[in-house]
């Protein structure tokens, strides 16, 4: 068993919107990602997605309104719900989602990560 320093792990992530796997727990992965700016509107048809804000403020836009998460807040986006994360300033974010979940859902674009690197 190895302790994971979130501070050190986030320091090793150099680019935005590129999730990295830090741990596997049963059939789910814990991913860390640094984000800034607007992401793509997308949905995950078969997976729920758990967002945990470690540092910063994240707005998750939905077609019927927004949810703002501050450091220490979390939100589950249910499968099939279209959403778009937005960070006006840099946010350090932890994601907990089933193994194989693609960050852009059904959308394929320049920031799509099919196989996230491990930290």
> Can you give the pLDDT at residue 49?
95
pLDDT tens-digit series, residues 33-46: 999 999 999 999 99
Pick from 78, 20, 22: nearest CA to 50? 78
Q: Which domains does the chain have, with CATH numbers?
A: 6-98 (2.60.120.10)
Task: Give 115's DSSP letter.
Answer: S
Task: Give 109's DSSP letter.
Answer: S
pTM of the model: 0.94
- Taken in order 58, 53, 9, 32, the sign of the CA dihedral is negative
Q: Tens digit of pLDDT per residue, the chain (119 long)?
A: 889 999 999 999 999 999 999 999 999 999 999 999 999 999 999 999 999 999 999 999 999 999 999 999 999 999 999 999 999 999 999 999 999 999 989 999 988 998 899 99
């Amino acid at each position: 068993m190895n302790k994971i320093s979130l501070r050190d792990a986030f320091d090793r992530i150099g680019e935005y919107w590129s999730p990295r796997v830090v741990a596997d727990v049963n059939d789910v992965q814990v991913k860390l990602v640094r984000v800034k700016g607007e992401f793509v509107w997308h949905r995950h048809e078969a997976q729920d997605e758990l967002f945990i804000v470690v540092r910063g403020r994240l707005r998750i836009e939905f077609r019927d309104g927004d949810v703002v998460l501050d450091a220490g807040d979390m939100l589950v986006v249910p499968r099939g719900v279209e959403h778009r994360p937005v960070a006006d300033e840099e946010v350090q974010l932890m994601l907990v989602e089933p193994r194989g979940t693609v960050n852009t859902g059904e959308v394929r674009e320049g920031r799509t990560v099919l196989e996230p690197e491990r930290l």
